[in-house]
Amino acid sequence: RAGSRLPASEFAGPEAESVVRLKRAGALILGKTVSAEFAYIAPGETRNPHNVQHTPGGSSSGSAAAVAAEMSALALGTQTVGSINRPAAYCGVVGFKPGYGRVSRRGVVPVSESLDHVGFFTSDAQSAELVAPVLVTGWQHRSASRKPVLAVPAGPYLDKASPAGLENFEEACARLEAAGYRIRKINVMPDFEDIRQRHFTIMAAEAARVHTNWYERYAGLYQQESKDLILAGKAVSSKELDDALAGPEQLRSELTAVMSEAGVDLWIAPAATGVAPPGLASTGDSIMNLPWTHCGLPTLGLPTGKDATGLPFGAQVVGKWHEDEKLIAWAPGVESALGYES
């Protein structure tokens, strides 16, 4: 029921294409995990396996926690802002958000058709290599014949990381450089606040459309966070939505051009502002994931260590448009150089 209190009958239908593909490949489905309501931000009951007084992140809360707790080797999730890469960071596991449209969304309860991605969690990058060809449409195997050139996206975006999160990220980059990876710092996304606003405009407007009929009948069953999103979306004009919808391709083109000009293969950035915050009232801040989801580039989250209390940090590496295969091929080497696995 997408983490909601709506009647189960509202969600009757065929299995999601991603589940069908996994079963066809021989996977055994153990069960369903807890999601934030409608894959947004109203938290469920799941706790962080590293410290049960902290959130596991969201919205794919249960999926990240299940892999971190070794209940499952693989779990599916979706991401509309940061619902795979952030919980992967908080729970110390690998989270792969394929490029937009590379994994079928058929059978998935949508949040925003223009922004939704289907992905998954595993305990390590090698496992992600095994799963990706099963789920990603048109997969073409690639080999890692050289180390990728990495770029750090400096500017107002990177400034969103907490001091502790940034310190861990810089230490992770130092380990990569010691292992022979070239890392360049490039100033990008000076209009980051505009990017964030465009993303929210699209998400809210499209969520309001998705929930038009349900909300009319079941408004009293919605949690406040979901209500706020829907009401904000109802206030978005057609022109505002059209203007915002130009944003993903614009940002994708800008980032791709920078990568080509600088000879860069992958971006690398913190996967969350820091470690999982205490309490269960919030699933944490998804701001570090937003631009990569907005432009639809493939993104893989990797663990980068723990703080003094044992809570994990994570980084995310971001590939070029429709080059998920190269990102996945490079991932085990990057993971090994980082020197930390879940």
Per-residue pLDDT of 229-246, as tens digits, reads 999 999 999 999 999 999
**In this predicted model, what pLDDT tens digit does every residue of 146-185 receive, in sequence order?**
999 999 999 999 999 999 999 999 999 999 999 999 999 9
**In this predicted model, what pLDDT tens digit does every residue of 265-314 receive, in sequence order?**
999 999 999 999 999 999 999 999 999 999 999 999 999 999 999 999 99
* Residue 331: C-alpha distances to residues 206, 264, 281, 335, 339 (Å): 33, 15, 33, 6, 12
Which pLDDT band holds residue 131 (cuts at 50, 70, 90)?
very high
On average, the pLDDT of the chain sits at 98
Which pLDDT band holds residue 341 (cuts at 50, 70, 90)?
low
Q: Which domains does the chain have, with CATH numbers?
A: 8-188+263-338 (3.90.1300.10), 193-244 (no CATH)
- Please check the confidence at residue 253 and state whether its pLDDT lies above 90: yes
What does the pLDDT read at residue 55?
A: 99
- Please check the confidence at residue 342 and state whether its pLDDT lies above 90: no
What whole-number percentage of the chain has pLDDT above 70? 99
Cross-strand bridge partners of residue 76: 120
